[in-house]
Amino acid sequence: MTPRKMSLKQKYGAYTRGLDWKPTYQREDDVFPFAKYEGIKIHDWDAWEDPFKLTMDAYWKFQAEKERKLYAVIDSMAQNNGQLGITDARYLNAVKLFIQGVTPLEYQAHRHFAHLARHLPGAGLRVAAQMQSIDELRHCQTQIHTISHYNKYFDGIHDFTHMHDRLWYLSVPKSFFDDATSAGPFEFLTSISFAFEYVLTNLLFVPFMSGAAYNGDMATVTFGFSAQSDESRHMTLGLEAVRFLLEQDEANVPIVQGWIDKWFWRGYRLLSLVGMMMDYMLPKKVMSWGEAWETYYEQAGGALFADLARYGIREPKYADVAKAEKGHMTHQAWGIFYNYTHAAAMHTWDIDEAHMAWLREKYPDTFAQHYEPRYRKWREQAEEGKRFYNNGLPQLCQVCQIPMAFTEVGDPNTISFRVSEHGGDRFHTCSDGCKDIFDHEPEKYAQAWLPVHQIFQGACGGATLPEVLDWYHINQGADNMDYAGSPEEEQWNRWMEGRRPVVPVAAE
């Protein structure tokens, strides 16, 4: 008699927990040395409920077919000069920001989930971490392969891993992830799997992937589809992990709340790059940052935190600040890039009339009053041949590492900064959110590698801008400066000659 076919659940159990064993000649605490020092108490690892049941054999089949489909699109893009189908060469700056800032994080995620796959004591969670580790490696590779087509024709993409480690604005995403990977295993799960991949993921994924779809970048769209079924697994892992921690012991609740507060604010600050991309860098806009924040955080996050209240978890501290700042944040971020585009591996540009009209419509309470006059002044200066570049070095926030250009809540004319003292030194942060994070672990953040400090200390190739840019591997005159007058603009206009009328780029 043939035995009854195993159910999905039984099969998954046999392939995962069924492969686990209890150590006998080593102590459990020695085998899993990171499991206890964060203060998280786990009484019953078997109470972990696997949020998805994908066995390794099925996983390989899946990913193989996904890759066949994705690489077919990438090949066709290469054969058919797919770069000519995008809305405008300015769109590529969003892609540059993505490969410089996000793709290396996928690799870091791959490495750290591999670490969790070794070091978490529960077998179910270890297998989930192992699968996610492989997902992240695949995402990193497929992003590189997808975007490498653009590297043949466009600037600023050629040395993204090197730039990720050195450039001032890329230290924002890099230090974010370094913070997570240098934390314990449970804080990492709460930070990356829950706060980032669950609570804030749509604010990263939707703008980039929809932005690609709206702007004719079919290869990146296809990458997005190929990653989405992985991302949904990552989201459910984050949700299940937090639920598990909260249910295992009530002493875990305040620890998890502290991490949610911290990583909400860290993630929100990181997303200022994405928000700027949405409001300023997509030739054809998807939605404004303000609209995205309302839909994906205020509504979806509101429902989540209403449910989490049953566990004694409240909304992240300073969520009210993020809400109050949503009409200001992206304009201030774009201002930073416009000021320092001579030191960036991407372009900025004058905000034209159609784009300003769109911004007035999306930000009726803030744009016309506070930001439009600034852009008009900058345009006037540029037309007089005095395009403004900030040749000083900005002070950076010790935690988020963003130049201190954000303003006080309710007072858009005053720069917000806070000061903490630690070990006889003064440390500056950009907000109450970042100050709280610093003050909770000053020993950690006092060690931050701050690009501006490093330049002053002589650690970045020299004392002059060209020397620092060489050390960054920025191809000067091509990767940096305004789009207007760039080799990229010249090439794009040449390609477009006779293909279609030159359309002023801006709003929908």
Partner 1 sequence: MPTLTIEPIGETIEVAPGQTLLDACLRAGVWLPHACGHGLCGTCKVEVLEGEVDHGGASPFALMDFERDDGKTLACSAMLLSDTVIEADVDEDEDARRIAVDDYVGRVERREMITPDILGLWLRLDGAGLDFQAGQYVNLRLPGIEGTRAFSIASSPTEPNLIELHVRRVPGGVGTAWLHDELKEGDSLDFTGPLGRFYVRRSAEKPLIFLAGGSGLSSPKGMILDLLEQGYSEPITLLHGGRRPCDLHFGDLFRQLEAEHDNFRYVPAVSQPEADDVWGGETGYVHEAAERLFEGRFSGCQAYLCGPPSMIEAGVVALMKGRLFERDIFMERFLTAGDAEATARSPLFRKI
Asked if 260 is part of the footprint of partner 1 (rule: CB under 8 A), the reply reads no
Residue 444 CA to residue 426 CA, distance in Å, equals: 14
Beta strands in 434-477 (DSSP E): none
Binding-site string for partner 1 from residue 29 to residue 58, where x marks contact by CB under 8 A and - marks none: -----------------------xx-----
Instruction: Give me 210's structure tokens.
Output: 């929809």
181 closest CA partner among 264, 98, 102, 105: 105
Asked if 393 is part of the footprint of partner 1 (rule: CB under 8 A), the reply reads no
Closer residue to partner 1 (CB): 313 or 343: 313
Q: Site for partner 1 (CB under 8 A): which residue of 94, 256, 286, 304?
A: 304
Instruction: Give me 77's structure tokens.
Output: 């893009």
By the 8 A CB rule, do 296 and 203 touch? yes
Q: Site for partner 1 (CB under 8 A): which residue of 72, 306, 368, 503?
A: 306
Closer residue to partner 1 (CB): 53 or 370: 53
Asked if 417 is part of the footprint of partner 1 (rule: CB under 8 A), the reply reads no
Asked if 236 is part of the footprint of partner 1 (rule: CB under 8 A), the reply reads yes
Binding-site string for partner 1 from residue 199 to residue 228, where x marks contact by CB under 8 A and - marks none: --------------------------xx-x
Closer residue to partner 1 (CB): 194 or 363: 194
Asked if 294 is part of the footprint of partner 1 (rule: CB under 8 A), the reply reads no
Q: Site for partner 1 (CB under 8 A): which residue of 147, 170, 221, 308?
A: 308
Q: How buried is residue 308: exposed, middle or buried, by Cβ count under 10 Å (0-12/13-18/19+)?
A: buried
Partnered with residue 429 across adjacent β-strands are 418
Asked if 6 is part of the footprint of partner 1 (rule: CB under 8 A), the reply reads no
Phi then psi for 360, rounded to 5 degrees?
-65, -40
Asked if 60 is part of the footprint of partner 1 (rule: CB under 8 A), the reply reads no
Asked if 4 is part of the footprint of partner 1 (rule: CB under 8 A), the reply reads no
Asked if 229 is part of the footprint of partner 1 (rule: CB under 8 A), the reply reads yes
By the 8 A CB rule, do 402 and 272 touch? yes
Residue 248 CA to residue 71 CA, distance in Å, equals: 44
Q: Site for partner 1 (CB under 8 A): which residue of 18, 44, 69, 111?
A: 69
Closer residue to partner 1 (CB): 129 or 308: 308
Query: Site for partner 1 (CB under 8 A): how many residues?
Result: 35
Choose one: 15-23, 63-71, 369-377, 416-424; the region binding partner 1 (CB under 8 A): 63-71
Asked if 17 is part of the footprint of partner 1 (rule: CB under 8 A), the reply reads no
Q: Site for partner 1 (CB under 8 A): which residue of 231, 315, 482, 489?
A: 231
Beta strands in 345-439 (DSSP E): 407-408, 411-415, 418-422, 425-429
406 closest CA partner among 261, 263, 265: 265
Burial 154-168 (b: 16+ CB within 10 A, else e): bbbbbbbeebbebbb
Closer residue to partner 1 (CB): 34 or 225: 225
Q: Is the dihedral of CA 156, 160, 164, 165 positive or negative?
A: negative
Asked if 11 is part of the footprint of partner 1 (rule: CB under 8 A), the reply reads no
Cα distances (angstroms) measured from residue 211 to each of 201, 297, 412, 487:
15, 19, 29, 24
Q: Which residues in this chain contact partner 1 in the complex, by CB under 8 A? A: 7-9, 52-53, 61-62, 65-66, 69, 225-226, 228-229, 231-233, 235-236, 239, 243, 247, 250, 299-300, 302-304, 306-312
